């Protein structure tokens, strides 16, 4: 992937991510997050992660975000109430986050040449990132973790139903 394409995509991703934070209305925030997820899926395809990109669109942008939108509409939330004076908090969050970013970027600059592995330029094995390759690894080397994930999902489902069905008062 060329630099121009990467920077266009990265700019769009950052723009929509900022939209998640800045939009007053939760539905618009959620739609901005969907856009971010789609654009990230495009990046995943360029990184030879076809199956993960498909999962990103189907599971993340499809299923998880629908749950979010459903709850937003269920609660029928209006816009965030006009803020009481909280400029100090906003300011400190911005300063802290920019310092965090600058520190991370500095670290990356220092560590960038030390990255292990063959690197981006080299060719990947045939079928890298395909369902077959990911699935083979998932169901052999990561089998125990996969089973534990199933337990986690079961716990999540039971917990969500118990919490949401509980009678008030």
Partner 1 sequence: MVPTTYYIALSAILFSIGIVGVLTRRNAIVIFLCIELMLNAANLAFVAFARQLGSIDGQVIVFFVMTVAAAEAAVGLAIIIAVFRHRQTINADDLRLLRW
Of residues 88 through 117, those in contact with partner 1 by CB under 8 A are: 89-90, 93-94, 96-98, 100-101, 104-105, 108-109, 112, 115-117
Binding mask 16-45 for partner 1 (x = CB under 8 A): -xx-xx----x--xx--x--xx--x--xx-
Residue 54 interacting with partner 1 (CB under 8 A): no
129-148 residues near partner 1, rule: CB under 8 A: 129, 133-134, 137-138, 141-142, 145
Rounded Cα gap, residues 88 and 167, in angstroms: 39
Joined together, the tokens standing for residue 127 give 């079928």
Candidates 8, 62, 143, 153; binder of partner 1 (CB under 8 A) is 153
Joined together, the tokens standing for residue 126 give 């045939």
Residue 17 CA to its chain's centroid (Å): 10
- The kind and range of the H/E element at 112 are none
- 72 touches 26 (CB < 8 A): yes
Candidates 8, 59, 143, 147; binder of partner 1 (CB under 8 A) is 59
Residue 85 interacting with partner 1 (CB under 8 A): no
- 37 touches 61 (CB < 8 A): yes
Residue carrying the six token digits 């890298």? 128
Residue 82 interacting with partner 1 (CB under 8 A): no
Least distance to partner 1 from the beta carbon of 160, Å? 4
Q: How many residues does the chain have?
A: 169
Residue 12 interacting with partner 1 (CB under 8 A): no
Residue 124 interacting with partner 1 (CB under 8 A): yes
Q: Give the N- to C-terminal CA distance of the chain in Å, as an integer.
A: 58
């Amino acid at each position: 992937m060329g630099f121009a394409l990467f920077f266009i995509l990265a700019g769009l991703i950052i723009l929509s991510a900022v939209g998640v934070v800045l939009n007053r209305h939760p539905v618009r925030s959620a739609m901005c997050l969907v856009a971010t997820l789609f654009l990230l899926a495009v990046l995943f395809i360029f990184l030879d992660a076809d199956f993960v990109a498909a999962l990103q669109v189907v599971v993340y942008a499809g299923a998880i975000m629908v749950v979010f939108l459903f709850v937003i509409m269920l609660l029928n939330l209006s816009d965030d109430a006009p803020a009481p004076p909280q400029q100090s908090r906003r300011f400190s969050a911005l300063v802290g986050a920019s310092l965090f970013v600058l520190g991370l970027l500095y670290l990356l600059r220092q560590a960038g040449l030390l990255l292990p592995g063959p690197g981006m330029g080299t060719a990947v094995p045939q079928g890298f990132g395909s369902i077959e390759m990911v699935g083979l690894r998932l169901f052999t080397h990561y089998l125990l973790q996969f089973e534990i994930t199933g337990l986690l999902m079961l716990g999540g489902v039971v917990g969500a139903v118990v919490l949401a069905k509980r009678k008030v008062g």
